[in-house]
Amino acid sequence: MWAMSEPIAAVVVRAAELTARGLPRQAIDLLQPALVVNPLHGEAWCRLAAAYLDAGEPDPALNAAKRALVLDGDPAWAQRLTALALSELGRHAEAVVAARECVRRKPGDWRCQVVLAEVLANSPDGRREAVEVARQAAHLAPGQARAFQVLGDAALRVRDWGTAERAYRTALRLDPEAGDVRANLDTVRRKRGGAPIPPPSAEALHAAHALVWPALSRLAALLVAGGLVLLLGGMPRPTPFLGWFSGLLVVACAAVVGLVLVKARRGVRRALFRLPRHRPKVAFTATMFGLSAVILTGWTVALLLGATTMQPLVIAWLCALIGGAVVVLAGGR
C-alpha cells in the first residue's frame, strides 16, 4: 500500500508545479492515469479539479471536486473547488451555498473567505457582501497578495474606487510581479479621476464626532477662560508682555486640534474634514472657535509689535463665548 501511495504523492507534487507554471493541461494528463490506479486519493482529485479550472474547463473540474468531497483529505479545499466550478458554470446560488459551507467548516481559513468573496462578486445580488467578505479575508491574511487582489476586484465591481486602489496597492507591495493587479490598479486610477468622492460612512462620522466633540469642549474652556484672564490682565492697557501669554493660549489650542488629527485613523481622519457638512452644531462651533483663534493670533502679533488695543481680544472672546454656549447646551448630542 505504501509503495502505491508514494508515486501518487509525487505525481500530485509534479502536477502542482505544472499548474503553477501555467501548464494545467500537462498536469491533467499527468493526474488522470495516476487516479485510475489510485481512485481514492482525495488530494489528487482536488489537484485535478484545480488544473481543470485553470484550463477553463469547469464541468470536469466540478466532477473531480465532487469526487474529492466524499474521500479523505481536506474537505474545505474540495468545497472551495466545488464553489469555483459552480460559479464558472453560472450556477451562482449553488456556488454561494458551497462557499458558505466552506467558511462554516473553516471560518479562520482566509482561502475559504476568498472563494466566498469571489463567488459573491460573480452573483449580481452579492457584490456588496463580497467586499466585506474579502475585507475579512485580508484581515485574516495580511501577508497574502491574493486576499487583497480579491478585495480590489470586489470593490471594483461596486465602484468603490478608494477601497479598490488601496487593496491593489497592497497586493502589488506583496507581489510586485502581479501584472493583472497592476492593470486593474491603472483602471481604478483612471476611473477614480472622474469619480465623485464617496460620502463617509455613518460609522466613520460617528467616530469622528466622538473625537471632535470632546476637543471642542476643551477649546471652549481654553478660549473662554483664557480670554477672560487676558481681558482682566490687559486692563486698563495691555503690554507686549501680555502677548506671550496670549501666544501660549494659541499654541495650546493648536495642540488640542493636532491631538485630534493624531488620534484619528485614516478613514476617520477623512471623515473629520467632512463632519461639519453632516453635523451643523460642529460646523457652527468650529467656525466660532476658528474665528476666535485667528483674531487672537492677530491680536497677539500686534501686541508684541507694540499695539495697545483691546478691541480684537473682546471680539475673539465673544466668538469663543458663543461657541462655548453651543457646546454646553448641546451636551455632545
pLDDT along the chain (333 residues), means of 10: 56 86 88 85 85 88 84 79 86 87 86 89 83 91 92 90 90 87 87 60 78 90 91 84 89 91 74 80 91 93 87 92 88 59
Burial class (CB within 10 angstroms; exposed 0-12, middle 13-18, buried 19+) of 87: buried
Would you state the pLDDT for residue 4?
41
The closest of 253, 173, 188, 189 to 220, measured between CA atoms, is 253
Write down the pLDDT at residue 248.
93
Only one residue has cell 483691546, namely: 310
Contacts of 100 by beta carbon, 8 Å cutoff, 6+ apart:
116
Q: In the prediction, which pLDDT does 3 show?
A: 34
CB 167 within 8 A of CB 151: yes
Helices 2-20 and 42-54 pack at an angle, to 10 degrees, of 20
pLDDT of residue 2: 33
Identify the pLDDT of residue 72.
73
CB 199 within 8 A of CB 277: no
Quote the pLDDT of residue 142: 92
| SS3 track for 130-145 | HHHHHHHHHHHCCCCH
Query: pTM, whole model, 2 decimals?
Result: 0.53
The closest of 102, 40, 98 to 72, measured between CA atoms, is 40
At residue 135, the pLDDT reads 92
Domain edges within the chain: 202-330
Non-local CB neighbours of 80 within 8 Å, separated by 6+ positions: 99, 102, 111, 112, 115
The CA distance from 92 to 121, in Å, is 10
